[in-house]
Amino acid sequence: MAINLQKGQRIEIGLKKVGVGLGWDPNESTGYDFDLDASAFMLGENKKLPADEFFVFYNNQKSPDSAVESSGDDLTGGNSDGGDDETLTVDLSKVDPRVNEILFTATIHDAENRRQNFGQVRNSYIRIYNALTDEEIAKYDLDEDFSVETAVEFGRLYRRNGEWKFEAIGNGFKGGLEYFVNKYAY
């Protein structure tokens, strides 16, 4: 049975290959589709990318160590009908030794021009599942009220004493994907 995570809660993963699914539904129309983008930042001890290629997103769908792969870009949030809109698959056995943490984010594409924010998105979540069996391990529903934020750190996989764990984060920011790129680029 899957665990429903609370903000800040941590769990052990105990798997080699995990899927990270993100889902959402647009709440109100701004005249544009809601294009949320799931990304992964593979970070070293200094909380920075070892190289640009360790940033996995719609324009770089696979990390150089082949550990993280994106399902691609769902431009409307309509691909899932209640399920995951975008997925990142992680093979923990392949993660580059320079990487201690994999941070999962969701951002709203062109949010400023479209006048969109996470306050207009509902039913957003991140879920961790066994990528070999599709069995859900844990789910974190983002029920925070983000009225102006356009970027959210949903959660992270991190290495502690040789084991991988997951932490639900749920921190919102303004600035979209560019904010995270500036924060985590080396």
* Cα gap 34→25, rounded to integer Å: 8
pLDDT the model gives residue 80: 46
Q: What is the pLDDT of residue 79?
A: 47
Cα gap 124→146, rounded to integer Å: 11
What single letter denotes the amino acid at residue 143?
A: D
- DSSP per residue over 48-61, as a string? S-SSGGGEEBTTB-
- Determine whether 59 is exposed, middle or buried from the number of CB atoms within 10 Å of its CB (0-12, 13-18, 19+): exposed
Tokens read off for 172: 């919102």
Give the helix/strand (H/E) hosting 93.
none
Residue 116: CATH number of its domain: 2.60.60.30
pLDDT for the residue numbered 28: 59
Question: Measured between alpha carbons, how far is 108 from 140 in angstroms, rounded to an integer?
Answer: 19
Counted domains in the chain = 1
Neighbours of 113 (CB within 10 A): 8
Inter-residue contact 148 to 119 (CB < 8 Å): yes
Token pair for 184: 């985590």
> Which ranges of the chain have pLDDT less than 70?
1, 27-30, 73-82, 143-145
- Domain span at residue 129 reads 3-184
Strand partners for 70: 88
> What pLDDT is attached to residue 144?
63
Nearest to 104 by CA among 137, 127, 83, 135: 127
- Neighbour tally for 124: CB within 10 Å: 24
- In the prediction, which pLDDT does 82 show? 60
